[in-house]
């Protein structure tokens, strides 16, 4: 085949990345200190209007430190989505706690109705003021909400529920940098800045990338200070090597940050391209029966990170045939994640009425969405989809 391969989601590195990384190298600040780290933290905090930001090695490390800061530990439970990437859940286990798997609604994000139902039907408040899962006696220590594919979870409802039960909220906004409310109570607020602590990722497939990297944001300066402390080996006295807690080697390097500064300069442009391509896919798919490009909440500006094709009447075997057919035509696609409670390490975990996530788990295919994607590329993917589904 002569036609070029169209990958699912790859980096777009055509701005000031080489310039800034060269500056970092010339300054010989290559490790976990240097001006670029502070600059990247400031730039992100400013962009999302957060009180502050702490750069780290990955989104996973950011979520881990957020849970650690909140005191999650053995005997605790953390409410997490069943339909997500596993990195949103593993940190719960790193700290010896147990996940409680929650269903999604049609936004693919956590269903607030079931979340409220779970608290009222299966939990109780004890004299210590905390909320416990009645059957297992585990304390509900936090909720991790994920803004799936750049959509926004229903944060008005979810923050109300979290406040009612006094449970802190961590936002896994690793896929949703740039997504913000345009209406309602949180108008102008960005994904990641509405709960207690928010986390972004700069992995290679995310909307902007530092190769690998993450950022924790919060309006709680004490939380950020603590998380920065955890990320740098919990040094209380650097000169004398005094460590009063268990820390991690989770700080971002200056080289990664230099790349991040350049990538962030182009974020709005990337969102513009992704929006254009999303609308082109949407119009192109309208003619195909039983196929739908999933939408985003109407009251937000999404970052359009990932595109999800929903196959109404297909079996998972037919979905695989579609993925294989696209691959034969040089187009990468993939099924949505396997549900986390179905993964081996999570067998037998606590879950609550998982229904909607099973429907989407079987029927969603993600199609190419890189910000390098031209309109001609989109048309080629559309042509292949029509050929295979029409
Ligand atoms: C990418 C991602 C993460 C983890 O980010 P890394 O930087 O790769 O560690 C966590 N949660 C979700 C939902 C993600 O998509």
List per-residue pLDDT tens for the chain, 390 residues long.
Answer: 557 999 999 999 999 999 999 999 999 999 999 999 999 999 999 999 999 999 999 999 999 999 999 999 999 999 999 999 999 999 999 999 999 999 999 999 999 999 999 999 999 999 999 999 999 999 999 999 999 999 999 999 999 999 999 999 999 999 999 999 999 999 999 999 999 999 999 999 999 999 999 999 999 999 999 999 999 999 999 999 999 999 999 999 999 999 999 999 999 999 999 999 999 999 999 989 899 999 999 999 999 999 999 999 888 899 999 999 999 999 999 999 999 999 999 999 999 999 999 999 999 999 999 999 999 999 999 999 999 997
Q: How far apart are CA 284 and CA 379, in angstroms?
A: 8
CA-nearest of 299, 337, 314, 302 to 385 is 314
- Phi first, then psi, for residue 110 (nearest 5°) are -55, 135
Residue 87 CB less than 6 A away from ligand 1: yes
Q: Is residue 332 a contact partner of residue 8, using CB atoms and an 8 Å limit?
A: yes
| Dihedral sign (CA 150, 155, 161, 166) | positive
* C-beta of 381 in contact with ligand 1 (< 6 A): no
Q: Radius of gyration over alpha carbons of the chain, in Å?
A: 21
Cα–Cα dist 352/186, whole Å: 28
Distance CA 86, CA 4 (A): 31
Closest C-alpha residue for ligand 1 atom 11: 88
Residue 168 alpha carbon to ligand 1 centre in Å: 20
Closest ligand 1 atom number to CA of residue 58: 7
Ligand 1 atom with the shortest distance to the CA of 84 = 13
Q: Would you say the CB of residue 306 lies under 6 angstroms from ligand 1?
A: no
Q: Closest ligand 1 atom to the C-alpha of 201?
A: 7
d(CA 199, ligand 1 centre) in Å:
9
State the Cα–Cα distance between residues 176 and 63, nearest whole angstrom: 15
Q: For residues 295 and 53, is the Cβ–Cβ distance under 8 A?
A: no
34's CB contacts (< 8 A; 6+ apart) are 24, 27, 254, 257
Rounded to the nearest 5 percent, the helix, strand and coil shares of the chain are: 40, 20, 40
Residue nearest to atom 13 of ligand 1 (CA): 85
Given this model, what pLDDT does residue 2 score? 58
The answer, yes or no, to whether any atom of ligand 1 lies below 6 A from the CB of 59, is: yes
210 close to ligand 1 (CB < 6 Angstrom): no
Distance 212 CA to ligand 1 centre (A): 10
Regarding the beta carbon of 203 and ligand 1, being less than 6 Å apart is answered yes
Query: What is the spatial distance between Cα 307 and Cα 336, in angstroms, rounded to a whole number?
Result: 11
């Amino acid at each position: 085949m002569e036609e070029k391969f169209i990958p699912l989601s790859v980096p777009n590195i055509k701005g000031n990345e080489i310039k800034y990384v060269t500056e970092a190298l010339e300054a010989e600040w290559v490790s976990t200190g240097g001006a670029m780290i502070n600059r990247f933290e400031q730039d992100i905090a400013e962009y999302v209007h957060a009180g502050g930001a702490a750069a780290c090695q990955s989104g996973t490390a950011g979520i881990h430190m957020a849970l650690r800061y909140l005191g999650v530990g053995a005997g605790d439970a953390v409410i997490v989505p069943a339909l997500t990437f596993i990195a949103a859940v593993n940190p719960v286990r790193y700290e010896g706690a147990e996940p409680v798997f929650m269903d999604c609604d049609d936004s693919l994000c956590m269903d607030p109705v079931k979340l409220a139902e779970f608290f009222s039907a299966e939990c109780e408040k004890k004299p210590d003021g905390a909320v416990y899962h009645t059957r297992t006696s585990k304390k509900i220590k936090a909720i991790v909400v994920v803004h799936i594919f750049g959509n926004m979870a229903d944060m008005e409802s979810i923050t109300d529920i979290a406040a009612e039960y006094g449970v802190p909220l961590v936002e896994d906004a690793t896929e949703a940098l740039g997504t913000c409310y345009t209406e309602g109570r949180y108008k102008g607020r960005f994904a990641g800045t509405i709960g207690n602590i928010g986390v972004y990722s700069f992995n290679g497939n995310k909307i902007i990338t530092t190769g690998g990297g993450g950022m924790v944001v919060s309006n709680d300066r004490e939380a950020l200070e603590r998380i920065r402390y955890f990320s740098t080996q919990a040094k209380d006295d650097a000169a004398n090597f005094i460590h009063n807690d268990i820390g991690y080697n989770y700080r971002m390097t200056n080289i990664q940050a230099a790349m991040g500064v350049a990538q962030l300069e182009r974020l709005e442009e990337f969102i513009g391209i992704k929006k254009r391509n999303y609308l082109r896919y949407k119009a192109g798919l309208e003619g195909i029966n039983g196929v739908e490009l999933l939408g985003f909440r109407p009251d937000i500006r999404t970052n359009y990170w990932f595109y999800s094709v929903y196959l109404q009447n297909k079996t998972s075997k037919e979905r695989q045939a579609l993925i294989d057919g696209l691959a034969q035509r040089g187009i990468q696609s993939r099924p949505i994640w396997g549900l986390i409670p179905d993964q081996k390490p999570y067998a037998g975990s606590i879950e609550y009425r998982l229904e909607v996530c099973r429907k989407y788990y079987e029927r969603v295919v993600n199609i190419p969405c890189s910000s390098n994607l031209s309109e001609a590329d989109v048309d080629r993917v559309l042509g292949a989809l029509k050929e295979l589904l029409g």
